[in-house]
A and B are shown apart, each in its own frame.
Chain A
C-alpha cells in the first residue's frame, strides 16, 4: 500500500508525543472501530458465500458455517452465464475507457495548448453541459441510440460513453499545469503538434490520464441505468444487470448470490490497490483545483 506523501505535522511541546499518549491511543481506537465497521459486512459476505443453503440462514446463530463450500463459486457459472457477464463488463468498460481517454485527451490538448479563435466560447459550451444532470440526458440519448440503430448492442453501450465533457474538462485542467515553455521548446526543437501531443504533453499528463481512465473504467463497470434500459439480449448483460437478474431468479440461494457479488467486487479492488496512489491524488487534484 503506497504511503501518501508525508504531510507536515505540527508538533507542539506539551501535546502529542511529549504529552499524554491517551489521545493518540484514542485516535487509533477510533480508526480501528470504524475500520472494523467497514470490514465486517465483507467478512460476513465471504462467510455467507462459503456456507451451504441451510447453514447460511443459521449463520447469525452459529457464527461460522460448519461446512465450507468453495464449490459455490463454481456453481454460479453453471447457473448463469456469469463469465459472459464478466466479459461484457470488461469489454464495454474497457472500450469506453480507451475511446474516452483518447477523445478527451485530444480535445483537452486543443483547449489547453492551441490558441484558436472561438476557443473560450466552445469551452464554455462544454462547461455549461457539466451542470446538466445525467438524468436529463437519459431519455434523449435513448432516442438517439434508438435512431442510430444501436439499441440492444455493444455499440449502444460503448459509443455514447466514448466522449465526455467532464473528462475533457479534467484533462484540460491537468494540461494547463504543464508549462507552455515545454511546447515552445519542442516547437523550436522541430516538433509538430501531433508530436508535441504524443511525446511531450501526453506523457506529462499521465497522472491525469490514469485518473480519468480509472474513474471511467470503474464508472462503466458499475454502470446500471444505461445497460438496464438498453439491453434486452441475455448475451449483452453486464455484471450489474446479470447480478440483478440472478438475484430475482435465484434470490433464495444466498450463498450463490454472495459468491457472485463478491466476485464482481474483485476487479475494482484490484484496480484500486494497484493504482491507489494516482486515484487519491487525482480526486484531490481534480476536485480541489478544478
Chain B
C-alpha cells in the first residue's frame, strides 16, 4: 500500500507537443482516484507516466515515498489493466496470471496459491486452462484484473478497462470493481472518459482538459460545485443547459436577464458571492442549469418565490425514459434547452409550455469555455 504524489508533472512529446502540464496531486493510501476528461486531455499520458511507460518530461512522481522517475516499470511495484486487456494470446489464463510472478522467480507453490486465490475472488477458476481467444469480453476483463491482483502491488493502474464491454456488463463490472476495491483497499488510479463511471467509482475524481487539471474533489462536490463551465458541461447527462445574458439588480436582489424571456432572481445569501455578482453586473455572463432543475408548471412542485422564474418555452421533441421524460425545448432566441421532468402521459410536443426553474440549482459562469463559476465556486 502506498500513497502516490505527483509534483508539477508535465509531458512534452518531441520537444513540441505538450500533453500534460503542471499536474499536482496527492493520492492517499488506499484511495480510489479517477482521472476523467475528453479524449486527448492527457489523462492516459499521466497514468502511463506513473506506470513508467512514458518518460516524465518535468516534475516528479513519487510512489510510496520514493521518486520513481527513472525506475523501470517492473520495479515500481504497480500493476496495470489495459483498455484492450493486453492478455498474452498464446498463453493460458493460468500462465497469463502467473507470468509476472514467474519472472520474479517466485516459488511454484506460492504462484499456484496466489493465482488460485485471485481466480476464486474473480470467479474465473474454471477458465484457467483456456486461452484468451476462448473467453468472452467480460471473462477477458476479469483475467486482466486477475493479472493485476496476483501481483499484490502497491498501486493499481486502470486505463479505461471497461470501455470494451457492452453497456450492461459495464455497469455490473463497475459495481464489482468498487466492491473489489473496498475489500483490497489498494491505492487505485483509474482513467476513463465516461463521466458516469468516474462519478460512481471514484473517492475523488480529477477532471482534466488540455493537459491540465480543472478540478479535484469528491464526485458530489464536483457535480454540485463545478469550478468552471467546462467541468459543469462535462459532468452530467443530459449535459447542463447554458443561456447567455447579464446580471441586473432588482431592488436588493441580483437578477439574471437572458433576452426578453428569462428573468431569474438569483440566491445571494452567501456573503462573498453577492459581492462577486455585483462586480459582474452588466457584463456578459452565462447561466447554467441542469435539465433536472426545471419542472413543469402544472406539477407545481415548488412555488416561484418572486414569480420571475417561469420560462415559456416551445417544446419540440419528447423522449420518455420511464419515470422521467426529457423534453427538448426551444427558447424564443432559437436556442435548444433540455428539461428532465416527471413523466406523464400525453405530454404535448410542439406547443408552448410554462416551466419552472429552481434558482437553488443554477450556476453563473464567466463567458468562455473555461469561465469560472461565480455563483457556486468550490468550497
Contact = CB atoms under 8 A, between A and B. Distances in A.
Interface in A223-269: none
Interface string A188-206: 1111000100001001100
Contact of A181 (B78, B83, B104, B151): B83
Contacts of A179: 84, 86
A interface: dominant SS:
helix
Given A184-B53, A189-B147, 20 more contacts: A181-B82, A182-B88, A184-B73, A184-B82, A185-B86, A185-B88, A187-B53, A188-B51, A188-B74, A188-B79, A188-B80, A188-B100, A189-B74, A189-B100, A189-B103, A189-B151, A190-B74, A191-B74, A204-B89, A204-B90
A80 interface: no
15 contacts: A179-B86, A181-B82, A181-B86, A182-B86, A184-B51, A184-B80, A184-B82, A185-B86, A185-B88, A187-B73, A187-B74, A188-B52, A188-B80, A189-B100, A195-B103
A195 B86 CA distance: 16
A190 B150 CA distance: 14
A195 B74 CA distance: 13
Top-6 shortest CB links A-B: A189-B100, A181-B86, A190-B103, A190-B74, A185-B86, A181-B82
Contacts of B147: 185, 189
Interface residues of A, number: 15
Interface residues of B, number: 22
Contacts of A182: 86, 88
Nearest to A206: B90
Nearest to B153: A188
A102 interface: no
Interface in A78-112: none
Interface of B: 51-53, 72-74, 78-80, 82-84, 86, 88-90, 99-100, 103-104, 147, 151
A150 interface: no
Contacts, number: 52
Nearest to B103: A190
Contacts of B151: 189
Given A200-B88, A204-B89, A204-B90, A188 B78 contact: yes
Given A179-B86, A181-B82, A186 B53 contact: no
Contacts of A190: 74, 100, 103-104
Contacts of B51: 184, 188
Given A203-B90, A204-B90, A185 B82 contact: yes
A184 B78 CA distance: 12
